Structure 1
Amino acid sequence: MRIIVISVILAASAALTGFSVLAYDLFKPGRDTVPLVICTAGLWLLFALAVLLLRGVRGRAVVVLILAGSAVIGAAAMIGPPNTSTDSARYAWDGVVATAGVSPYAYTPADDRLDPLRPGWLFPAAETTDAGTPVCVGERIQTAHKTPSGDILCSALNRTGVPTIYPPAAEIYFAGVRALTGPDAQYWPLQLTGLLLSVGTTGMLLAGMRRRGIDQRHAALWAWCPLVATEAITNSHVDMLGVVFTLAAAFLVSTRRYWGGGIALGAAIATKLIPVLAAPAMLRRQGWKVTVAAMLTFLLLYVPYVLTTGIGVLGYLPGYLSEEGYEDGTRFALISLVAPGGSAIIVAGAVLAVIAVLVIWKTDPDRPWLGQLVIIGSALLILSPRYSWYALLLVPFIALSGRWEWFAVPLALTLRLLVPSLPVTRVALAAAVVLIVAITMYRAGPVVFQRRIRPVTRPPRPVA
């Protein structure tokens, strides 16, 4: 009966996932904020209920349920186009450009020289009004202008006036997908790839947990997580590929394959820079091997692009950091309360440095995931990015460690994405900090408090 109930809940979760993808998005003039918040809350409640019920399941049924749920919910997430992000349109364009033999770092999408490469679904033709004025029409379509001609450009991409920001492993991934599907396939190729990577990560977790004596039921914390379906599949964020490489690095290093772990870590950082946060937990033992392998892999992946584009491989990264408020400290939602302006950068850097040192010092090198959980989760709380998909990197380490309370971080970032209000963000992040600290103290409570409260007793002196 428990298995049947879990199956029904997973089916309901898949149905609600598909419905929310088809019915609501953030691209309408009024934004479907309220219905998206309600659907998201419903998905997280179904997720929590299914995970709780799974605790009573034993045997092979655990693996079957977890894999089936991962595949079914993920497939439902493919039922419509991206509904909260336009990043995958930029991924597709970078892939189209690369397969045409052009470096994605060399030109902006608005450059006139790229006109022969433009597929109609990414760059639809402008429509003409009764007054003869060209206008861009479409829910995901933005109005821009070509350079240097100044002609109107209707685009599904964001930031058409700047070069790409993505590192080389991501660009190779985009090119590989487009090489298989061609330029006219729309959003589904990256969604399908995200589904395959997501289910593959579920399998990797199940296998890794079995070999290390970790309860395999914890893999459901990744497999059924609403954030994974939404951001890895519906919105097809390249962070999913970074998760695969980072998790592989953690498993390799934990089995003392340091060179292989370093190569995987370097590939993860060359996919999206944020996986560098996972590195300190893998440096306790033979850390120099991991560091050297990661650096060499990262640099070697950049070599072909540096040879063709030079310093242009930095793309829009410097401008992005400034745009997001990390240059002047305004992006740090919590730290800016006590350290406004530029001082927030110093405080944030100092806190992260202290956490990194503690993680290197305290992490068990055979089980680095708890340290990775702490430093990645803490960094997300400190940096407070606007984008919930950054938290994808956190989820596999929640699963490996079983520390469900850290789901408060992706929940807070999801709320920030859907309700872009600084006061709401601060309340959500503060609540996440309180919950994590409270549950962590509860977990360690009996030992910690006994050590602190128990009176010191000395053995009686022997009687002469």
Structure 2
Amino acid sequence: MTRFWMLGGLLLGLTLGAMSLHVPGTRELSIRDNMWFVIIAGISLAVYLLAVWLVLHRPAPRHTVWVVLLVAAALRLPLIPVLPFLSSDVNRYVWDGMVQVDGINPYRYIPADPALVPLRDQAVYPHVNRAEYAPTIYPPAAQAIFAATALLWPSVTGVKIVMVGFEVLAVVCLLRLLAAARLPAERVLIYVWNPLPVWAFASDGHIDAATVGFVSLALLLRTRRRDGFAGIVMGAAIATKFLPAVVAPALWRRGARWRLAICCALTVAVLFALYSSVGWRMFGFLRGYGAEEGMTDGSGIWLLAGLARAVPLPAIAVPLYWTAVLGLLAGLAGWLAFIRRPDDPVALCGAAAILMAVVTFAISPHYPWYFAWLAVPAVLAPYRALVWLAASPILFYLDTFGDRFIWPSVVFVPTLLLALADLRPSCVAAPIKGNT
């Protein structure tokens, strides 16, 4: 147990050291401090990967899980009251919640619209990103969370507490999944010690924490064959950040008679109906966001950005890329839903992990928090590529001034190499189970 105390203490010291780079009252790091932050984050990543290796390959004393959970709490608690300095997204969450509390559909106006002048304050509004041109992009379940938070505690700290609460939900579900799979409880370390969720949720309060909670709960309910409830929770996940839609085929069970699919679809429909008074404006910024992030012209996609450095890409390259991605996902979804039939917790999480990793890798976002949800299935299905891809994007906090290929290759090239190693039949058939 001593080695876990030592590694946990080292992670905590590194986290506090990175936090000390922040100047109280400011909302971003200087260029110099940003570089130091990523250096410290890189060391934290190495310590975390060593801890993962130990928990998977070395026997752990009884009650080690309590050490793991205590360290996890210690990593998060100091960050909650600190102003976010790595991202400003949480300010939009607070704003959207305040707008709804005032009885206004959050999709109706951009924050800078004169109709919302009475709601402007000095604590939140000046820090809302894209306020001058972008309506909110967050789906209805996320908006409902923002509204509920605004009713209880309309502040950045309130949102961060709610997001850590979703992490607590995820941890409870993961512990029960580990128990169902007869795996050591301390394996939850793979999620709770991952430095990326620590900074993305406790520090920055990203809505992806809700996705983490919903996906974890859906996996647990599916394991217990509570298909209707699993469908409802999966619908909430999809209506929080769209991407969890790829997990649905992994949850499919032919004996459920479409209960999961119907409940999922109805949940999504009801949630969208709650905000439907603005019509298609609910999706108004999706296209703009895709263009802004280089998804429509290929400049923001790691693979295409790399190819474009070697040869000029034809106009058809981007449509072909997305067609290939959709085809791969469709093939994997069909195989996992109708042929592989994952029923035990490890196989179920392995199936979800494959779909989640493929879509996240294909999109190749440069925002680190998009990768945090991959740490959920990694707890039970710790494929090496998955563990790396769920944690290493913390390096993306380095400001590379728009580079979408060279620095991201530090994450994506090892992912590809590790994925090739994971493709060995023994690894695909049975992810590392560790000590039982």
Common fold by TM > 0.5:
yes
> Which whole-Å deviations, capped at 9, do the CAs of 1:62-81 have from their partners, x for residues lacking one?
22112212211111332522
> Which whole-Å deviations, capped at 9, do the CAs of 1:162-200 have from their partners, x for residues lacking one?
110011111111111111124xx3x21122222222233
Are 1:189 and 2:169 counterparts? no
Are 1:253 and 2:255 counterparts? no
| Cross-structure match for 1:406 | 386
| Cross-structure match for 1:344 | 321
| Cross-structure match for 2:9 | 11
Cα drift, residue 294 of structure 1: 0.5
Cα drift, residue 290 of structure 1: 1.3
Q: TM-score, normalised by structure 2?
A: 0.87
* Distance of aligned partners of 1:83 and 1:197 in 2 relative to their CA distance in 1, 3 Å threshold: same
| Cross-structure match for 1:437 | 420
Q: Which amino acid aligns with 2:357?
A: G
The whole-number CA distance in structure 2 between the counterparts of 1:58 and 1:378 is 36
The whole-number CA distance in structure 1 between the counterparts of 2:151 and 2:408 is 40
The whole-number CA distance in structure 2 between the counterparts of 1:231 and 1:11 is 20
The whole-number CA distance in structure 1 between the counterparts of 2:413 and 2:233 is 34
SS in 2 for 1:437: helix
* Distance of aligned partners of 1:346 and 1:244 in 2 relative to their CA distance in 1, 3 Å threshold: same
| Cross-structure match for 1:113 | 115
Q: Which amino acid aligns with 1:434?
A: L
Among candidates 121, 129, 147, match of residue 175 of structure 1: 147
The whole-number CA distance in structure 2 between the counterparts of 1:24 and 1:255 is 44
* Distance of aligned partners of 1:169 and 1:341 in 2 relative to their CA distance in 1, 3 Å threshold: closer
* Distance of aligned partners of 1:214 and 1:10 in 2 relative to their CA distance in 1, 3 Å threshold: same
Among candidates 181, 184, 205, match of residue 212 of structure 1: 181
* Distance of aligned partners of 1:230 and 1:390 in 2 relative to their CA distance in 1, 3 Å threshold: same
SS in 2 for 1:270: helix
Cα RMSD for the two superposed structures: 2.4
| Cross-structure match for 1:148 | none
Among candidates 341, 350, 360, match of residue 370 of structure 1: 350
| Cross-structure match for 1:158 | 129
> Which whole-Å deviations, capped at 9, do the CAs of 1:345-395 have from their partners, x for residues lacking one?
222222222232233232413331101111111211222112121112211
The whole-number CA distance in structure 2 between the counterparts of 1:356 and 1:383 is 17
CA contact (8 A) 1:73 1:229 kept: yes
* Distance of aligned partners of 1:113 and 1:403 in 2 relative to their CA distance in 1, 3 Å threshold: same
* Distance of aligned partners of 1:28 and 1:7 in 2 relative to their CA distance in 1, 3 Å threshold: closer
The whole-number CA distance in structure 2 between the counterparts of 1:383 and 1:362 is 25
Among candidates 57, 75, 78, match of residue 60 of structure 2: 57
CA contact (8 A) 2:111 2:135 kept: yes
* Distance of aligned partners of 1:270 and 1:444 in 2 relative to their CA distance in 1, 3 Å threshold: closer
Are 1:356 and 2:333 counterparts? yes
Among candidates 283, 294, 299, match of residue 269 of structure 2: 299
Aligned residue runs from structure 1 range 205-354, under 5 A = 205-285=174-254, 286=256, 288-306=258-276, 308-335=277-304, 340-354=317-331
- Structure in which a larger fraction of residues adopt helix: 2
Cα drift, residue 110 of structure 1: 0.3
CA contact (8 A) 1:348 1:383 kept: no
The whole-number CA distance in structure 2 between the counterparts of 1:162 and 1:192 is 26
SS in 2 for 1:327: coil
CA contact (8 A) 2:18 2:40 kept: yes
Aligned residue runs from structure 1 range 419-438, under 5 A = 419-420=399-400, 421=403, 422-426=405-409, 428-438=411-421
Q: TM-score, normalised by structure 1?
A: 0.82
* Distance of aligned partners of 1:433 and 1:325 in 2 relative to their CA distance in 1, 3 Å threshold: same
The whole-number CA distance in structure 2 between the counterparts of 1:67 and 1:412 is 21
The whole-number CA distance in structure 2 between the counterparts of 1:24 and 1:41 is 17
The whole-number CA distance in structure 1 between the counterparts of 2:226 and 2:67 is 31
- Looking at both structures, which has the greater relative contact order when contacts are Cα pairs under 8 Å and sequence separation is at least 6? 2
CA contact (8 A) 2:4 2:68 kept: no
Cα drift, residue 238 of structure 1: 0.6
Q: Which amino acid aligns with 2:382?
A: G
The whole-number CA distance in structure 2 between the counterparts of 1:417 and 1:336 is 19
The whole-number CA distance in structure 2 between the counterparts of 1:51 and 1:409 is 14
CA contact (8 A) 1:385 1:413 kept: no
Are 1:379 and 2:359 counterparts? yes
CA contact (8 A) 1:21 1:82 kept: no
Give the structure with higher Rg (CA): 1
Q: Which amino acid aligns with 2:82?
A: G
* Distance of aligned partners of 1:412 and 1:331 in 2 relative to their CA distance in 1, 3 Å threshold: farther
Q: Which amino acid aligns with 1:326?
A: M
Cα drift, residue 443 of structure 1: 4.3
| Cross-structure match for 2:434 | none
